[in-house]
Structure 1
């Protein structure tokens, strides 16, 4: 509305001073500046949206590769193609398909549809990974227990608005809102591979469950186990806190396979 009002005001001034050439030039320049500013703002929004989609597609590619590794399905090597003779001009052809030019509304509609398609693929791959792990990992080392007696109601897995910076970012775990000092339990049996303090995670534990599977427990007020300790499923390993990059007391919980985050919601039992 503000933009339309400014344009109307400029048009009124234009008609009032239509005899002044220099005035008309300045009015035209002002119109161009306003339109270009609006166009640039829209371009910035599209760039952010497309950047997020690219990141999500990369995650899907990584998931696809992990699933191939899981099932040990190796692609057969391609047959070697004969080398082209540089002395010969290669034949070219095919139907002519012109490059499509999108309007702003068409571009936004395309981005919205692509976002929906990507969400479906993300859900599909997350389910496939969960099915594979549940079928192949030993019962005690499958991270399907609840880490703390609280719902994951503060922040879920996936894209969200970062609570500190206010920009969209990928959240690689679940946040369980709880009180300081509440017990944190291991969701599966394993070995502590790190008991450390970091600027991002605060007091954090990393537990290996074998075969590249790992769980992480962050922002603790106190760690009750140390590196090298063997852990049983449902053993109390730390206490809820507010350390590191955190806005309030909670447990940040992650599941990772070979360093890549998995959706913990696919494994938790309630």
Structure 2
């Protein structure tokens, strides 16, 4: 039997503890240091472990941050593409009804919108984050789907305009007596930046001095030099329809002048942001670019 005698100045006589009381006191003396260690030492270890990245060499720390930034950028791009696809799907559905196109006549990708993912589910098994290659592949597929939706929307707009009261004023005549190049309306690799960019018109390559003609009757609203378009000519055809003729070597008409379809208005050149002599030709409706190919191929 263990007897612990406690002597204190405040006690009139010494106090003797029993076995259970003695064991409880000893356990208290043992446990107290452990508790103090957990309270004061463990947080410091957690802080140290959380600061491991800060202790890495700068080049390794920079590589980790760079990789994460790349993944964040890819994820943001996917979100933006999804939003654009959803908007295009909604717009194309409305345009299809206006154009009298029956359901099921649209492209396959148009009939399988991205929001179909909202109807999926199931237990999460072997979950793992997408790799950088997975994200790139997803972006490429979504970009291709977006291209198809853009092209389909251009066809719908052309059908609506050809049926509307604007059909008589449509710029459906070729602006130059040469064929347009493969660098046509839509997404392409920009010849100067090397990046993927949207081309808002058609390019007609031809020798410097080749005549450019008005694609429809209208009023010249701009005849000036700009950094990107070079010598630029704009013609207003009414009701928000406009044509643009860019990179010319010289302009033969002035703002405010009325022109007729087929009238010579400029000469081809390579001014502005251009890699060689050609005509850059655009059709716009209320400032938005249209695919000129749809109007040239519907011209009879």
- RMSD, matched Cα: 3.7
Compared with structure 1, are the counterparts of its residues 158 and 175 closer, same or farther at alpha carbon in structure 2 (3 Å cutoff)?
A: same
Which segment drifts farther, 100-109 or 190-199? 100-109
**CA positional deviation for 1:194:** 1.1
CA contact (8 A) 2:147 2:187 kept: no
**CA positional deviation for 1:141:** 1.4
Unaligned runs of 5+ in 1: 1-27, 72-94
Structure 1 equivalent of residue 289 of structure 2: 261
TM-score (norm 2): 0.61
Structure 1 equivalent of residue 130 of structure 2: 103
Which segment drifts farther, 123-132 or 152-161? 152-161
Kindly indicate whether residue 173 of structure 2 is the aligned counterpart of residue 173 of structure 1.
Answer: no
Structure 2 equivalent of residue 126 of structure 1: 154
**CA positional deviation for 1:45:** 7.5
State the distance in 1 between where 2:128 and 2:296 align: 46
TM-score (norm 1): 0.67
Compared with structure 1, are the counterparts of its residues 41 and 66 closer, same or farther at alpha carbon in structure 2 (3 Å cutoff)?
A: same
CA contact (8 A) 1:140 1:188 kept: no
Kindly indicate whether residue 233 of structure 2 is the aligned counterpart of residue 211 of structure 1.
Answer: no
Report Cα offsets for 1:157-207 as digits up to 9, x if no partner: 112222222222211111111110001111111111111111111111111
The counterpart of 1:200, out of the listed 225, 228, 251, is: 228
State the distance in 1 between where 2:167 and 2:76 align: 42
Compared with structure 1, are the counterparts of its residues 49 and 209 closer, same or farther at alpha carbon in structure 2 (3 Å cutoff)?
A: same
SS of 2:184's partner is coil
CA contact (8 A) 1:193 1:207 kept: yes
Compared with structure 1, are the counterparts of its residues 247 and 44 closer, same or farther at alpha carbon in structure 2 (3 Å cutoff)?
A: farther
State the distance in 2 between where 1:217 and 1:59 align: 30
Computing the radius of gyration from Cα coordinates, the structure with the larger value is 2
Structure 2 equivalent of residue 242 of structure 1: 270
Aligned residues: 219
Q: How does 1:60-79 map to 2 (within 5 A)?
A: 60=88
SS of 2:296's partner is coil
Which segment drifts farther, 180-189 or 146-155? 146-155
RCO higher in 1 or 2 (8 Å CA, sep ≥ 6)? 1
The counterpart of 2:250, out of the listed 222, 232, 252, is: 222
**CA positional deviation for 1:42:** 5.3
Unaligned runs of 5+ in 2: 1-55, 100-120
Compared with structure 1, are the counterparts of its residues 227 and 263 closer, same or farther at alpha carbon in structure 2 (3 Å cutoff)?
A: same
Structure 2 equivalent of residue 147 of structure 1: 175
Which segment drifts farther, 224-233 or 49-58? 49-58
